[in-house]
A and B are shown apart, each in its own frame.
Chain A
């Protein structure tokens, strides 16, 4: 009896195999479907670590509050001199929130790859018909959504408790969206380059570290660039976050003269700088990525970390 049932089950399996047989067409499954299922996978995995979401929320509230209280001992004169209005807290809020946001777009790719390597799933995924870049985009998407959620949270916390000076001008807000989009794109280039590098060298994430340090120090997150010694300014001007923060602050802060838009020359310059950065870095980053991937496949170290 049992044997008979087992046989039946087997027949069913074989049937589903025989069905599509030779007629199988490729690309029956679209990019969108793949992205969606990877998003679902990411969300479910992420949800199983939900203890950490609470922590992230606490972290967001605390960091916003931290700079609110720091602003009590800080004079806003330097911020004002730099043209970002007279409120240090609003200045710092934007700096920190967007630094975290862009940092996550740098980090997401190498982070996801490492996660897959540590869990031993990378090779399984790479032995499917799906191409590596599709997979990367799919797994990175969730992190972007999460980072965006936190960006919004930080501003909500700030609005509810601490009264920042934020514009309500719709054109300025739209300009901010453009700037955010460009700055994410610019930072993704760095993220992809770093994946290429870590697939070749297995220790740490040197590019991201370097970038993290430089931006933290030089792109004007906590203080305006005017405080930096002159010889550091050229390095600051190589970092996309420097432009992104300048543009976003000018558009988002409710300045005495009103918030700026894309049309103001300074913001326009920021946009231009970001565009140049992307034009140079995007093809370069894809090349480095390809190189790292092939190197890892040559050395047989795809799964190693």
Chain B
């Protein structure tokens, strides 16, 4: 079975902006490598999450795959078509949604229906099929009431649903969704994510989903590639990612009417098994302290009793659920060291 996406040493450099000089200066020295020799294979039907902070190179990578950007080195095959040699066919195989541009990638002065018709034709969908598909999608995305109004009068959610319909209009085998849920309210985002899962499971569509939110990717994707500074730091699955987090364990303590913070920190640091103390937030009269420990189950009773001995009024003490964000930070710092 051929891969849906196969990149080989895909590289992109942009001229670095030099301080004090507005124009980007040329020359190797001032080039910033945004995507650095990325080689990755995405098998057919996979739901891949591309995770990374802003500026990691996710959008640059996806734009190269959609042929909106020419790579400096390397190339990629999309559904077997080379992005350099057969760009039009590549585009025909991809549905690309760039969430950051928001509704701006629709024609605001046309109605939603006109937009869908236009993109169907540009994507070379035969008329009859396009007609049927547009109707079905209008009904599914519940756009009946607004579809004949100008897009500029839509709400954000309505624009996103119209954009989704546009992205799918040519039934592409591969979907490249670049932060598609950006700017969506929670409920709509949940619905949208559900729909992606359906597309992936029911129709076997390959999905590349970029995001900087861990929970989102963890929920959706069977495979997660973590990207930063142009390289893929880790290529893993949600399960191993969570396991990674377990290495770092924290206990959260709430103390009432605390006076001397420095004394408290000193006191906690001297307790056995405590690695680090973070004085987190003060919400008078409660002070919240976060303590990093070697083993949470062992440390919990010790901390509770020691604090009681010293006369601190502990209102609560609990094991803090590890977040994927922390794992990510850890992973990125580890790789860099």
Interface residues of chain A, those whose CB is within 8 Å of chain B, are 9-10, 12-20, 24, 26-29, 33-34, 37-38, 40-41, 44-45, 48-49, 119-121, 123-131, 135, 294, 297-300, 302-303
Contacts and interface: CB of A to CB of B under 8 A. Distances in A.
A12 B136 contact: yes
Contacts of B105: 120-121, 123-124
B137 A121 contact: no
A48 B94 contact: no
Interface string B66-105: 1111101000000000000000110110101010010011
B136 A13 contact: yes
Contacts of B129: 16, 19-20
The prevalent SS among residues of A at the interface is helix
Given A15-B136, A120-B104, A297-B68, A45 B109 contact: yes
A28 B150 contact: no
B67 A127 contact: yes
Given A28-B124, A29-B124, 6 more contacts: A9-B139, A13-B140, A16-B132, A17-B171, A37-B121, A303-B101
Contact of B69 (A12, A19, A131, A300): A300
A14 B111 CA distance: 24
B269 interface: no
A303 B100 CA distance: 13
Contacts of B104: 119-121
A41 B110 contact: yes
B63 A17 contact: no
Nearest to A295: B70
B154 interface: no
B297 interface: no
Contact of B63 (A19, A45, A300): A300
B243 interface: no
Contact of B117 (A18, A37, A126, A135): A37
Contacts of B111: 44
Most chain-B Cβ atoms within 10 A of its Cβ — which of A13, A15, A48?
A: A13
Contact of A34 (B67, B122, B139): B122
Most chain-B Cβ atoms within 10 A of its Cβ — which of A12, A28, A121, A303?
A: A121
A48 B114 CA distance: 13
9 contacts: A13-B136, A18-B203, A28-B126, A121-B107, A123-B98, A124-B166, A129-B88, A131-B88, A298-B69
A41 B89 contact: no
B14 A299 contact: yes
Interface in B117-172: 117-119, 121-127, 129, 132-133, 136-137, 139-140, 150, 166, 168, 170-171
Interface string B1-45: 000000000001011000000000000000000000000000000
B17 to A, nearest CB: 13
B70 A297 contact: yes
B92 A129 contact: yes
A9 B144 CA distance: 13
B281 interface: no
B108 interface: yes
A44 to B, nearest CB: 5
A26 B90 CA distance: 12
A12 B94 CA distance: 22
Contacts of B68: 123, 126-127, 297, 300, 302
Contacts of B287: none
A12 B140 contact: yes
Contacts of A14: 198, 202-203
A302 B198 CA distance: 33
A129 B120 CA distance: 10
B150 A121 contact: no
A131 B168 CA distance: 19
Interface string B166-180: 101011000000000
A88 B272 CA distance: 102
Contacts of B101: 120, 123, 303
Given A18-B203, A37-B117, A297-B70, A45 B110 contact: yes
Nearest to A45: B109
B203 A128 contact: no
A33 B122 CA distance: 9
Contact of A130 (B60, B123, B168): B123
B108 A130 contact: no
A40 B122 CA distance: 13
A135 B118 CA distance: 11
B88 A119 contact: no
B296 to A, nearest CB: 41
Nearest to A24: B171
B143 to A, nearest CB: 11
Contact of A127 (B66, B127, B132, B137): B66
A26 B86 CA distance: 13
Contacts of A26: 89, 92, 124
Contacts of B225: none
Contacts of B268: none
Given A14-B203, A16-B136, A121-B104, A41 B118 contact: yes
